[in-house]
Amino acid sequence: MKTAVIFAMQKEAERFIKSYADVMPTMINGIPFYEITDSLTVCVGGVGKVNTAISATILHEHYRPDVIINAGVAGCLEDYPVGSVVVAPHCVQHDVDTTIAGDPIGLVSTVNVREFYTYNPDNTLKVLTESGIESEFGIVATGDWFGKDFDRARWVKNEFGALMCDMEAAAVCHVCLRYGTKPVIIKVVSDHVFSENQDEEYIAGVPLVSKTLTTATKMLVMHFLNE
């Protein structure tokens, strides 16, 4: 399958990109796209739902992938070790609230979806596990919010059953739903949302887990390119 990968930040993507031949990006509307091969494109789309949705849309319009992998670091709502790999069976948008119109919290009314399901998560978990990368399932709650408010974080955890908080995953799933393509979401724990030292954990955690993130992403890319 023709495969694309969206990272939010260059520091998440650079090890993965450098593991291939030296490829210069094509800039489209200010966003770098790395065409590794005819069947593999990597994008550094920027942080947040809107940046991610724009990047995913450009990927669809210019590169026509069959599957999009959103790979990145994220904050954990449980006490999982830094570097733990999580596969999302589905994602939610915790900052969507049209309850005044009678909708359930988190429902995206234009597509009437609250849970944005990913492509064959059982298989994704199997591929990683058989590659020696210990992984487990966890719901990812997406919103334009860095989880500093403990009360809000507890509500996200309880309302949606979320394990991870990020700012991109559900946006990728949302765009893929519109285009009828296959989203795959993997997140690596970089910090803990309920930690008093979350900022320090995040700053230290991103470079610490970049190797794990790269290895997991490459395993999935090789699988989907051959599927």
Active site residues: 12, 191
Other beta carbons within 10 Å of 174: 22
Q: Residue 79 corresponds to which tokens in the numbers above?
A: 């006490």
Cα separation, 57 vs 64, in Å, equals 10
DSSP string, 34-79: EEEETTEEEEE--SSHHHHHHHHHHHHHHH--SEEEEEEEEEESS-
Longest dimension (CA), the chain: 52
* Total number of residues shown for the chain: 227
- Per DSSP, helices labelled H in the chain are 10-18, 49-63, 121-130, 150-160, 169-179, 198-225
Cα separation, 23 vs 52, in Å, equals 22
